[in-house]
Amino acid sequence: MIYLLFRTDRIGDFLMIAPLIESIKRNDLNSQIYIVGSKKNFDYLDKNSLVDKVFLLKSNNLISKIRLFFKLRKYKLDTVIVTDKKNRSIILSFFLSANKKIFNVSKNFQSKLLSFFYKSVFLDNDTLIKKPFKKILKKNCEALGFDLVNDDFHYLQEDQYKNYFLPNTLLDLDKLEYIIYHYDEKWEIENYVKSFKKASNLTPISTNFEKMLRFFFKLTKKTNKKIIITTGGINTKLIEILKLNSKLVDKNLYEITTHDVKSYLLINQDFFSMSHLISKSKLFIACHGAFTHIASNYKVKTIDIIEKEKLAHYSRITNHMSNHKHLYRDNFTNLSENIITNS
């Protein structure tokens, strides 16, 4: 049977509904999972073992939607599930033929309107719905006649992405005890705002080279573990400074020495390589994003940095995560001390 799910947003948003897909796969051994994705998640979905086929919504214009509709209607769909709550997905799903349809929506009027036609309409909104996102997933599963178990939240297998991580003599992940400090554009608002306009409203985390080195030194001494600094897809000022003040020891790998402490800067890792790296780590430190969900999947201790005003939202979507701690965005001096205290 073909299950078509709409997830036309980001990788992290898809990872939030991966337990639902895992439940479908576990309960229906003949299931085929088709996903309507976006430019931001297509490459990841195309290589994801949970997904059998991916359709790309190329743009939000009417012509793209019509072309996609005619492509989708060629398939005999058993179930259509709107998980991204987008109007475009709701409208396309409404006109597609399927034995069962499930709608996850964010607005009251959408819920009331669709409820005239369908039984399985679920309101998912931070303001209106206080219940954890896990319960929304459970309702989706129940609408399918399936259960949702804890193992469904651990859908990635050990070493699943091992082949994506290039062997390195200095980083033997099976022997090295290490912390990942993921320094992406979210740490520098002036860079983050390039891809996310609302970032200008976030609390700045301002730091410099000297403060960062002191942080590496203190964290290493506190935990007795190596620190591996990883990077995001957008260049940041501090990473460029770190590269200039460190030693290139292998392709994409730099060695940073502070007194007697050595840390490593690892750049240009794709999503799958990063996933494997996270899976072997003892602690993952990052501003909230897709990798937070990867760390949770592998039960890795996580320090998840968020905006304080968004606590209700992040609490809803991380409620199921164990060994997980929220810290609030703050100036780097205060935040780094909080990280060390909670490591």
Average confidence (pLDDT) per 10 residues, the chain, 343 residues: 97 97 98 97 95 94 94 97 96 97 95 94 80 94 97 93 82 91 93 81 92 96 97 91 94 92 94 96 97 97 97 94 97 97 97
Structural tokens at position 79: 């179930």
Which residues make beta-bridge pairs with 4?
A: 34, 80
The β-bridge relationship of strands 79-82 and 247-250 is unpaired
Amino acid at 237: K
Closest by CA position to 285, among listed 211, 336, 241, 242: 336
pLDDT tens per residue across span 96-131 = 999 999 999 999 999 999 999 999 999 988 776 678
Report DSSP letters for 14-28, one per residue. Answer: HHHHHHHHHHHHHH-
Q: Which pLDDT score is estimated for 251?
A: 85
Q: Which pLDDT score is estimated for 170?
A: 78
Q: Which pLDDT score is estimated for 166?
A: 79
Q: Which pLDDT score is estimated for 225?
A: 97
Domains of the chain: 2-153 (3.40.50.2000), 166-342 (3.40.50.2000)
Q: Which pLDDT score is estimated for 199?
A: 83
- Tokens 């259960």 found at: 147
Q: Which pLDDT score is estimated for 200?
A: 84
Q: Which pLDDT score is estimated for 130?
A: 72
Please, what is the angle between helix 62-72 and helix 87-95, to 10°?
A: 40
Amino acid at 126: D
Structural tokens at position 58: 């190329």
**How far is residue 65's CA from residue 58's CA, in Å, rounded to a whole number?**
8
Q: Which pLDDT score is estimated for 271?
A: 95
Collapsing DSSP to helix, strand or coil, 119 comes out as coil
Structural tokens at position 64: 């793209």
